[in-house]
């Protein structure tokens, strides 16, 4: 099959959707398909990710949902999309998050080929699908099958958009994320245990809650010789840096943005991985990446992460808004060797269930069904 994947978010822009497109395309190609990606331009770093990629316009990054959204800006966007679709001739067009005035939305409307769409988004507070229903019903009607990455994602949509849903989770690239291999150089500079956070430093991801928990049990973390690593950039970076007490400055490390190729080395060196996201999650790809890397996970008990973590079995769920409780969960995993081993072993099993080999096969099955070939 000749397949087109479409998203405003793609590398070099970091995040779960970018990883999803990159890995899904990689594993569909392994299954013998020709896969193209249509996305926007992020500037000088585009060249690292330009194989079978067509970029149109330029990116607009806007604050929304206590996070950021990416949109493609180009006055001639519909014409350029239409021209590309005519040039290449695809069997299936797979758009990601098209219920918006964005590149996937335009592609869905203009596609002369069958369209499958994946929905990754959750919301903090207001459910924007209520508004999308008013403006984007024509887009929805073009979609043959809607793939939701979790039951949570489906429940957000279904009251407003009725149709053919398939739940297929995000995958993890177990060829990249695995326990064996080199560790990031930060670990050679730290003589002690480490708690790792990977993600944008923005309110929705909750890095401030992690830092408050660390500060609340300062003496306990010092006694266990624990260091805290923040990998990522974002609007909270300056305020987080100022929050760190003088006595903890040598234990809190801000790495800034970590390139795509360095993430596996970063995960596998940590003693605990944690994600205190306050909401807006439908799955939790970072959790599965950490599990595949052989790292125990402590995460926020939110509507998305419960799709991945069975509390006490393959990870720990905690109410991260209570600093003492959050800190206690981290300390328990750091101190309790038998619990660590259990979480690591079960986490590796979980990661295998979400391997991209399995996920890509299921997505391929949807394409075949839409084309009447299965």
What tens digit of pLDDT does each residue of 90-112 get?
A: 999 999 999 999 999 999 999 99
Scored b (16 or more CB within 10 A) or e, 84-114 reads bbeeeebbbbbbbbbbbebbbbbbbbbbebb
CA end-to-end span of the chain, whole Å?
A: 14
Which pLDDT score, from 0 to 100, does residue 36 have? 97
Which are the contacts of 234, defined by CB distance < 8 A and separation ≥ 6? 200, 201, 202, 205
Are residues 213 and 337 both part of a single domain?
Answer: yes
Neighbours of 257 (CB within 10 A): 13
* The two structure tokens encoding residue 272: 């605990």
Q: What is the CATH number of the domain that holds 311?
A: 3.40.50.2000
Domain count, the chain: 2
Mean pLDDT on 307-321: 97
What is the Cα–Cα distance from 189 to 42, expressed in whole angstroms?
33
Domain span including residue 79 = 2-171+355-370
Which are the contacts of 52, defined by CB distance < 8 A and separation ≥ 6? 25, 34, 35, 36, 37
Least confident of 110-119, 124-133, 251-260: 124-133
- Give the neighbor-by-neighbor strand order of the sheet with 297-300: 252-256, 226-231, 193-198, 272-275, 297-300, 316-318
Are residues 106 and 253 both part of a single domain?
Answer: no
For residue 74, is it within any domain?
yes
Q: Which of 263, 360, 308, 366 is nearest to 23 (CA)?
A: 360
- Inter-helix orientation angle 323-335/207-216, to 10°: 70
* The two structure tokens encoding residue 60: 């607009």
* The two structure tokens encoding residue 326: 């959050």
What is the Cα–Cα distance from 83 to 88, expressed in whole angstroms?
9
Are residues 35 and 157 both part of a single domain?
Answer: yes
For residue 85, is it within any domain?
yes
With a pLDDT cut of 70, the percent of the chain lying above it is 97
In tens, the pLDDT along 173-225 reads: 999 999 999 999 999 999 999 999 999 999 999 999 999 999 999 999 999 99
Q: Is the dihedral of CA 184, 189, 191, 195 positive or negative?
A: negative
In tens, the pLDDT along 19-61 reads: 999 999 999 999 999 999 999 998 877 777 888 999 999 988 8
Are residues 272 and 301 both part of a single domain?
Answer: yes
DSSP-assigned letters across all residues of 294-341 = T--EEEE--TTGGGT--BTTTBEEE-TTSHHHHHHHHHHHHH-HHHHH
Residue 255's pLDDT band (cuts 50, 70, 90): very high
Which pLDDT score, from 0 to 100, does residue 64 have? 61
For residue 147, is it within any domain?
yes
The pTM score is: 0.88
Are the beta carbons of 123 and 152 closer than 8 angstroms?
no
Residue with tokens 């060797």: 337
Are residues 152 and 233 both part of a single domain?
Answer: no
With a pLDDT cut of 90, the percent of the chain lying above it is 82
Does position 126 have pLDDT exceeding 90, yes or no?
no
Are residues 165 and 258 both part of a single domain?
Answer: no
Are residues 161 and 192 both part of a single domain?
Answer: no
In tens, the pLDDT along 59-76 reads: 888 776 555 778 899 999
Which pLDDT score, from 0 to 100, does residue 71 have? 85
* The two structure tokens encoding residue 146: 């809607």
């Amino acid at each position: 099959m000749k397949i087109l994947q479409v998203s405003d978010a793609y590398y070099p822009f970091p995040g779960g959707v970018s990883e999803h497109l990159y890995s899904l395309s990689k594993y569909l190609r392994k299954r013998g398909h020709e896969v193209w990606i249509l996305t926007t331009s992020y500037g000088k770093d585009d060249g690292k990710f330009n194989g079978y990629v067509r970029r149109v316009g330029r990116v607009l990054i806007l604050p929304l949902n206590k996070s950021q959204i990416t949109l493609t800006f180009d006055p001639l966007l519909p014409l350029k999309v239409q021209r590309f679709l005519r040039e290449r001739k695809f069997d299936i067009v797979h758009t990601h998050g098209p219920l918006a005035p964005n590149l996937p939305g335009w592609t869905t409307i203009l596609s002369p080929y069958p369209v499958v769409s994946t929905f990754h988004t959750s919301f903090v507070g207001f459910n924007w699908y209520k508004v999308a229903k008013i403006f984007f019903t024509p887009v929805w009607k073009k979609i043959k099958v809607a793939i939701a990455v979790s039951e949570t994602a489906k429940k957000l949509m279904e009251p407003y958009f009725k149709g053919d849903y398939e739940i297929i989770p995000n995958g993890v690239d177990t060829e990249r994320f695995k326990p064996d291999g080199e560790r990031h150089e930060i670990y050679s500079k730290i003589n002690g245990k480490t708690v790792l956070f990977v993600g944008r430093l923005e309110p929705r991801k909750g890095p401030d809650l992690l830092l408050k928990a660390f500060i609340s049990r300062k003496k306990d973390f010092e006694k266990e010789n624990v260091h805290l690593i923040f990998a990522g950039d974002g609007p909270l970076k300056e305020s987080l840096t100022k929050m760190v007490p003088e006595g903890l400055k040598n234990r809190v490390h801000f790495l800034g943005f970590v390139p795509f190729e360095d993430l596996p080395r970063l995960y596998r060196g940590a003693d605990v991985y944690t994600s205190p996201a306050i909401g807006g999650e439908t799955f939790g790809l970072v959790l599965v990446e950490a599990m595949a890397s052989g790292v125990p996970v402590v995460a926020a008990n939110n509507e998305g992460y419960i799709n991945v973590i069975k509390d006490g079995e393959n990870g720990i769920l905690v109410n991260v808004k209570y600093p003492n409780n959050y800190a206690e969960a981290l300390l328990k995993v750091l101190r309790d060797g038998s619990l660590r081993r259990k979480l690591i072993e079960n986490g590796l099993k979980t990661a295998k269930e979400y391997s991209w080999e399995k996920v890509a096969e299921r997505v391929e099955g949807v394409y075949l069904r839409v084309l009447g070939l299965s």
